[in-house]
A = this chain, B = another copy of it.
Amino acid sequence: MSLEPSNPAYESEVRSSFGKQTAMTSIGAQLVRVEAGVVEIAIPYSSDLTQQNGFMHAGIITTIADTACGYAAYTLMPANSDVLSVEFKMSLLRPAKGSTFVAAAEVIKPGRTLTVVRADVFASSDGRNRELIATMLATMICLLRS
């Protein structure tokens, strides 16, 4: 699928908006890839962000997946727009065990108003091998700034 960005400054817009998400800094998340229709966000394991068994909390994994989906959609939106999440569905395939987690989002269907995005989340313990632990299907909306 040819995904043509309409805003040539999309990468700096994504990085600037990401920088305003204090939640990303607080949980230690980083933007690791920004391309047209594709965004990846990584987060290291933190013993401060676990569920009851010591694995990363599904909500934190969802937080980076949602953000990756939002910015993957945003790369294809026009200048002077903003992106918001309409809804998402998350399937949790395996416990979030590992030292690093990466949410890789890719636009499936761009649109003027709505964009549908999929994100896969991978866990890795050694930085080389990775395992799919979750997958998200999300709808994002473009809001034009007045």
Contact among B25, B67, B139 with A139 in the assembled complex (CB-CB below 8 Å): B139
Interface centre among A20, A82, A116 (most CB of B within 10 A): A116
Which secondary structure dominates where chain A touches chain B?
Answer: mixed
Task: Flag if B137 contacts A135 (CB, 8 Å).
Answer: yes
Interface centre among A18, A57, A60, A89 (most CB of B within 10 A): A57
Task: Flag if B59 contacts A67 (CB, 8 Å).
Answer: yes
Count of chain copies: 4
Binding site for B on A (CB under 8 A): 17-18, 20-23, 25-26, 47-54, 57-60, 62-64, 66-67, 82, 84-95, 108-109, 113-114, 116, 118, 132, 135, 137, 139, 141
